[in-house]
């Protein structure tokens, strides 16, 4: 690991602790007190540094009070399980019966509650499980650096520690799809099927055009952690306050703790050319590595919702090449298993289709559950 990477991890590890703002405030306070002792010429600078320290300390105290209120108002709805010195949160509901248990994983580095609508629909048909990656939702931060490979192992350990029984159907959206494919590669004996919802293709990172959203993701998450650490939380309007019992709104409040931003900043470093070179061997699921595991690749037929990427390319020929690249690169996941199939999402939907058409997603997952049920013929 490069020295710069170790330093970055150490900084993120510190910032992931909600009390870190008070520790940081001690630095200008100490420097200010020292300046005051040097004499008249230094006292103004010392006063400024002490004022900065006071502002940082007050902001940090505001954040700590906010965290305390959130803890009381929104306790974990599921179980906290130990995965080796830190805890992960799992919400498991419904009766599996003869069917496989479904485990959902959202995109980005969001907590499991981001897929609550799918979970609520799915638990009516089988046992449904939401898992918070370390740092997200109610889970503890976990060790740094965060990597997809490590989180695949943590996911499997958390399910075991929670007493859940496979074989599972793993369902993952976007970056969560890459995680679920990694978990399936490691323990195919625990997996009855894999449903990838427009998963993140590593080829996009390694060989694709530079994407500002990915290029700035680590910086933006780190900046957001600093804002939260010093009490600069987003103001909540009255209308938003009335909807704070909605799962996605609850998750947004829960993840104002700095651990969420720091964990995301750490793992999103994988989504860069340097990161995929460093971690690719453990992150990428290569052709044929899933054997004959039933795999459904669910993604839009076209590039709806990606206009901001293509509009940034002025040259028509280059724009056409970029479009072709994005249309074809996601299909690579079909080569991971000899029992893979393609499912197109409803017309007019884009990458965010799990939020827009949750009933469709649950129907697709249900079709795989029916095919893999006891006594069902093997459709592959």
Q: By the 8 A CB rule, do 294 and 339 touch?
A: yes
Mean pLDDT of the 215-238 span = 85
Q: What does the alpha-carbon distance between residue 58 and residue 283 come to, in Å, rounded to a whole number?
A: 41
How far does CA 76 lie from the centroid of its chain?
Answer: 18
Residue with tokens 């625990």: 190
Task: Give the model's confidence band at 207: pLDDT under 50 very low, under 70 low, under 90 confident, else very high.
Answer: confident
Q: List, in sequence order, every residue forming a beta bridge with 105; answer none if it has no partner.
A: 172
Task: Give the model's confidence band at 118: pLDDT under 50 very low, under 70 low, under 90 confident, else very high.
Answer: very high
Task: Give the model's confidence band at 24: pLDDT under 50 very low, under 70 low, under 90 confident, else very high.
Answer: very high
Q: By the 8 A CB rule, do 187 and 103 touch?
A: no
Residue with tokens 């427009």: 198
Q: What does the alpha-carbon distance between residue 88 and residue 104 come to, in Å, rounded to a whole number?
A: 15
Which two structure tokens, joined as six digits, stand for 94? 């419904």
Residue 297 confidence (pLDDT) above 70: yes
SS3 85: coil
CA atoms within a 13 Å half-sphere pointing along the CA-CB vector of 155: 36
Per-residue pLDDT, 309: 66
Q: What does the alpha-carbon distance between residue 92 and residue 164 come to, in Å, rounded to a whole number?
A: 8
Residue 243 confidence (pLDDT) above 70: no
**DSSP class of residue 351?**
T
Residue with tokens 């449904």: 128
Q: What does the alpha-carbon distance between residue 254 and residue 137 come to, in Å, rounded to a whole number?
A: 6
pLDDT digits (tens, 9 = 90+) for 164-194: 998 999 999 999 999 999 999 999 999 999 9
Q: What does the alpha-carbon distance between residue 170 and residue 250 come to, in Å, rounded to a whole number?
A: 24
Read off the pTM: 0.92
């Amino acid at each position: 690991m490069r020295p710069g990477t170790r330093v970055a991890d150490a900084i993120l590890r510190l910032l992931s602790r909600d009390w870190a703002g008070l520790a940081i405030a001690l630095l200008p306070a100490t420097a200010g007190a020292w300046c005051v002792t040097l004499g008249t010429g230094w006292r103004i600078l010392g006063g400024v540094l002490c004022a900065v320290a006071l502002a940082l300390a007050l902001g940090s105290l505001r954040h700590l009070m906010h965290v305390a209120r959130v803890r009381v108002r929104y306790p974990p709805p599921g179980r906290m399980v130990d995965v080796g010195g830190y805890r992960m949160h799992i919400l498991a509901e419904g009766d599996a019966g003869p069917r496989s248990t479904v485990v959902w994983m959202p995109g980005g580095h969001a907590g499991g509650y981001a897929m609550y609508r799918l979970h609520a629909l799915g638990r009516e048909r089988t046992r449904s499980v939401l898992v918070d990656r370390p740092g997200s939702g109610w889970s503890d931060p976990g060790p740094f650096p965060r990597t997809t490979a490590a989180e695949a192992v943590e996911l499997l350990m958390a399910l075991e520690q929670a007493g859940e029984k496979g074989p599972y159907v793993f369902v993952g959206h976007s970056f969560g799809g890459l995680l679920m494919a990694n978990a399936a590669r490691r323990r195919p004996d625990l997996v009855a099927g894999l449903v990838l919802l427009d998963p993140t293709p590593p080829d996009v990172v390694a060989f694709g055009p530079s994407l500002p959203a990915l290029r700035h993701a680590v910086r933006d998450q780190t900046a957001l952690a600093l804002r939260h650490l010093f009490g600069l939380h987003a103001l909540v309007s009255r209308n938003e306050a009335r909807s704070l019992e909605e799962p996605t709104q609850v998750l947004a409040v829960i993840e104002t703790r700095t651990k969420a931003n720091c964990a995301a900043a750490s793992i999103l470093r994988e989504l860069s050319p340097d990161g995929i070179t460093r971690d690719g061997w453990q992150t990428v699921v290569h052709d044929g590595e899933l054997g004959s595991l039933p795999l459904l690749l669910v993604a839009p037929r076209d590039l709806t919702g990606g206009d901001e990427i293509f509009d940034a390319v002025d040259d028509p020929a280059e724009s056409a090449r970029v479009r072709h690249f994005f249309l074809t690169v996601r299909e690579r996941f079909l080569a991971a298993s000899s029992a893979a199939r393609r499912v197109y999402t409803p017309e007019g939907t884009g990458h965010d289709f799990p939020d827009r058409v949750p009933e469709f997603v649950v129907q697709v997952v249900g079709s795989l559950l029916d095919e893999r049920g006891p006594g069902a013929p093997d459709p592959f």
